[in-house]
Structure 1
Amino acid sequence: MRTVVFDLDGTLADTSGDLLAAANACFRAMGEGDVLEVETDAGTALRGGKAMLTLGLTRLGRLDQALVEKYYPMLLEAYSGAIDHHTVIYPGAMDAVERLAQLGYGVGICTNKPEALAEKLMTSLGVRNAFGALVGADTLPVRKPDPEPLFETARRLGGDPAKTVLIGDSVTDRDTARSAKVPSVLVTFGPSGEDMAALEPEALLKDYADLPALVQDLIGRNS
Structure 2
Amino acid sequence: MAGMVAGMGAGTVVFDLDGTLADTSADLIAAANACFIARGMGALLDPVADQLIAFHGGRAMLRAGYGRLPQDMLLPPGAEEEDYPRLLDHYAANIAEHTRLYDGTEAALETLAAAGHRLAVCTNKPEGLAETLLRELGIRGHFQALIGADTLPVRKPDPRPYFAAVEGAGGIAARSFLVGDTETDRKTASAAGVKVALVAFGPEGQALERLAPDAMLSEFAALPALAKAWLG
TM-score relative to the length of structure 2: 0.91
Offset of residue 219 of structure 1: 3.1
Offset of residue 65 of structure 1: 8.3
Task: Report SS of the residue matched to 2:156.
Answer: coil
How many residues align? The count is 220
Identical aligned residues as a percent: 51
State the alpha-carbon separation in 2 of the partners of residues 205 and 126 from structure 1.
23
Offset of residue 2 of structure 1: 1.5
Is 1:216 the counterpart of 2:215 in the alignment?
no
Offset of residue 64 of structure 1: 8.0
Structure 1 counterpart of 2:17: 8
Q: Does the 8 Å contact 2:30/2:47 carry over to 1?
A: no
Q: Where does 1:72-221 land on structure 2 (aligned, <5 Å)? A: 72-220=84-232
| Higher mean C-alpha displacement, 56-65 vs 135-144 | 56-65
Task: Report SS of the residue matched to 1:52.
Answer: helix
Residues 155 and 47 of structure 1, relative CA distance in 2, 3 Å threshold? same
**Greater C-alpha radius of gyration:** 2
Structure 2 counterpart of 1:49: 58
Structure 1 residue ranges (4+ consecutive) displaced by more than 4 angstroms after TM superposition? 61-65
State the alpha-carbon separation in 1 of the partners of residues 38 and 83 from structure 2.
9
Offset of residue 39 of structure 1: 1.7
Offset of residue 191 of structure 1: 0.6
**Partner AA of 1:74 in structure 2:** R
Offset of residue 182 of structure 1: 0.1
| Higher mean C-alpha displacement, 65-74 vs 48-57 | 65-74
Q: Does the 8 Å contact 1:96/1:212 carry over to 2?
A: yes
Offset of residue 194 of structure 1: 3.0
Offset of residue 193 of structure 1: 1.5
- After superposition, the CA RMSD in angstroms is 1.4
TM-score relative to the length of structure 1: 0.95
Offset of residue 67 of structure 1: 2.2
Structure 2 counterpart of 1:40: 49
| Higher mean C-alpha displacement, 152-161 vs 187-196 | 187-196
Structure 1 unaligned blocks of 5 or more? none
Offset of residue 63 of structure 1: 6.8
Note the alpha carbon deviations across 1:162-191, whole angstroms, 9 max, x for none.
211100000000000000000000001111
